[in-house]
Amino acid sequence: MRTIRNVLYKILLNSCYLDFNVAFSSENTIKYIGCDAAFGSDHTFLDSLPESVYYFASVRENEYIFRNMPKVVIPENSPGKGGRFKHPRSAEEPVAIKTILDDDSVPWVRRVISMGTKGPVSAEVKCLRCVSSRKENRLFMPKAEIWVYIRKHEDGTIKYFLSNLPPDTDFSLLDKLATSRWSIEQCFQECKSYLGMAHYETRSYQAWHRHMLFVMIAHLFVTILRDFLKKIRCSHYAYDPFRHCFTDSDPFKSQTDFNDCSLSTTA
């Protein structure tokens, strides 16, 4: 079973690599990329991104980083204790990103990170500059300076992020990127629940891609229609035939159901 999951995961990664290559080769300018921990912990994926693209990647708690840029050395063996070392390595051992949680020198800061549908969304955040690590010849090596962004939710859940944004980046941009994936997750949830995103039986990537394309077109249509209907006032359009196509036949029905912005249907 684990082998099957690994094969499916590699197929998914290859499909995403293909989509990214097409996107980067087009005339559209992509500046930021956000991804979950499956891609954020894949160093091959992060290193394959163009230098002009900044990533804000979720990572697992066991992601290794350097707190400061370490020296790279080739150690010397003591006389009579085997052959000489050939490969360079970091003079310091990296640490797991979760160790920053217990570091009192980096305090938690409560900030308003976004504006939600029910008002401001606040969270406790730790943000600092560190150095990413890569394994070369089974040895840890420093890669480049990065941002480490740790967010604590109200229920105690901890989320870890890495970003290659410049050192002078404003914290507000990090907050914005940290919460931008919520709209994507909402889109996927609505497409799976109401528009048949997961209802496909295809045998080729092209067929799967077409199915996803039509689902996204349908979601765009429903979103525009939902936004249009939400702006209509019941008192002004009580007898509008266009409105009656999407509401109950009773023209004096409460406006509450009509202004519901979800895709679900209410009894």
pLDDT in tens, 19-59: 555 555 555 577 888 888 888 988 988 998 888 889 999 99
Choose between 162 and 25: higher pLDDT.
162
Partners of 141 in the β-ladder: 134
pLDDT of 85 reads 81
pLDDT of 238 reads 47
By C-alpha distance, which of 139, 153, 154, 7 is closest to 64? 139
Angle, alpha carbons 39-178-157 (nearest 5°): 85
pLDDT of 34 reads 86
257: pLDDT confidence band, cut at 50, 70 and 90? very low
| Cβ(174)–Cβ(165) below 8 Å | yes
pLDDT greater than 80 at residue 169: yes
Evaluated on CA atoms 108, 109, 110, 112, the torsion sign reads negative
pLDDT greater than 90 at residue 98: yes
**Its pTM surpasses 0.85:** no
117 CB contacts (<8 Å, ≥6 apart)?
none
**Mean pLDDT calculated for residue range 148-175:** 91
- Name the average pLDDT for the chain: 79
Tokens of 195: 């528009």
Distance CA 66, CA 92 (A): 8
18 CB contacts (<8 Å, ≥6 apart)?
205
CA dist 28 → 15, 20, 22, 116 (Å): 20, 12, 10, 29
**Mean pLDDT calculated for residue range 75-96:** 81
